[in-house]
Amino acid sequence: MRLTIIVVLFIAYVIFLIFLFVKIGEQDTPRIAEPFIEDSLLVQTSEADNLLAEFMLAFNQGDYDRARQIAATLQEKYPGSPQAEKAAQMLAGLKPETPQPVAYKAPTSSKPKTAPATSRPTTTSREQPASKPQIGDLSAKIQENEARLQDALSRMRKERDDRQGITWYFNKNVSHYVYKNSFEAYIGQSDAGEVWLRLRIYFTGENPLNINSYQVYADDREYSISTLYGNMEQGSGPRGYWEWYDMQVSPKEMKVINEVMIANRNAVRYIGSKGIWERAMTEGEKLRLTHVMEAYNALLIQKELLSVNVVPGN
């Protein structure tokens, strides 16, 4: 009987040691990140989110007529929703609508068809010229947008390039230190008032990737960004290898940024000739993109308002 008890205790002790070694081994073994895209976890965006993304794309491209149509659809289908309110807020600085110039049609001739910048179609008794906004209305809109602009720029860091006549705006809490992984946007504004957006994607790791493209995931949507249209810089140091890509944002990348901001889950896949690496984007990255886009849109509205021709008010 005593021998049986001893054997049982010995077996239990051996099982305990095996269990202990397995647990220690699991802690020492690095975990492989789960794939970002899983069919069971995909989040379908609502129609309101999709409409807001289309609105943001049209607005950032300067297609304000299209933006107004989408905003009206949002207000009709989803009155009082955050998406409808955001669209209405962004359009507030553009009202009253400014008259669009009518294209001049030159007579047929062998010479190049050029139209004087000041040419306007002759009005008839049935056609009345579009009324211009008054100074008082425009001033109120400028002041309203100025408050929005200053609030947005308070979260930005300004850098001046006197040689090129450009002011750059970056997130205050983001440096361009190369040893990091992030997806960032920043703004350029020329002394002439032109405003544009740039995108910078950072990578750092123990081994180089020689990145040639990126895949950006926004919920169930996937977008590709090639490194052929910007500047890629690479290097190494005591903390490993780093690669970062900088490009001017086109309508394609603008859509990616807008989708990322409203998506529930985002990821970036870095694709190179020496390897592929993937990571999930953080909420901090989304917030920084939102701050940049708020400042960018406020600068665009300011430019639009300052270019409006007005008539004296009463």
Q: How many domains is the chain partitioned into structurally? A: 1
How far CA 37 is from CA of 42, 169, 270, in Å, comes to 7, 33, 15
Compute mean pLDDT per 10 residues along the chain, 314 residues long, and list them. 71 71 48 37 53 75 76 83 78 51 37 38 44 62 81 92 95 79 95 94 95 96 94 92 95 94 95 96 93 93 75 51
The answer to whether position 53 is within a domain reads no
Cα–Cα distance measured from residue 226 to residue 129, given in angstroms and rounded to the nearest whole number = 47
Sign of CA pseudo-dihedral 48, 53, 54, 60: positive
The answer to whether position 243 is within a domain reads yes
The answer to whether position 134 is within a domain reads no
Q: Would you say the pTM of this structure is higher than 0.75?
A: no
What radius of gyration, in Å, describes the C-alpha atoms of the chain?
Answer: 28
Q: Range of 223's domain?
A: 157-292
The answer to whether position 169 is within a domain reads yes
Task: Kindly report, residue by residue over 246-303, the tens digit of the pLDDT.
Answer: 999 999 999 999 999 999 999 999 999 999 999 999 999 999 999 999 999 999 988 8
The answer to whether position 97 is within a domain reads no
> Which of 231, 229, 284 has its CA nearest to residue 260?
284
The answer to whether position 235 is within a domain reads yes
Amino acid 23: pLDDT: 54
Cα–Cα distance measured from residue 269 to residue 278, given in angstroms and rounded to the nearest whole number = 4
Cα–Cα distance measured from residue 156 to residue 134, given in angstroms and rounded to the nearest whole number = 33
The answer to whether position 30 is within a domain reads no
Q: What's the one-letter identity of residue 86?
A: K
Amino acid 32: pLDDT: 34
Cα–Cα distance measured from residue 168 to residue 143, given in angstroms and rounded to the nearest whole number = 23
The answer to whether position 269 is within a domain reads yes
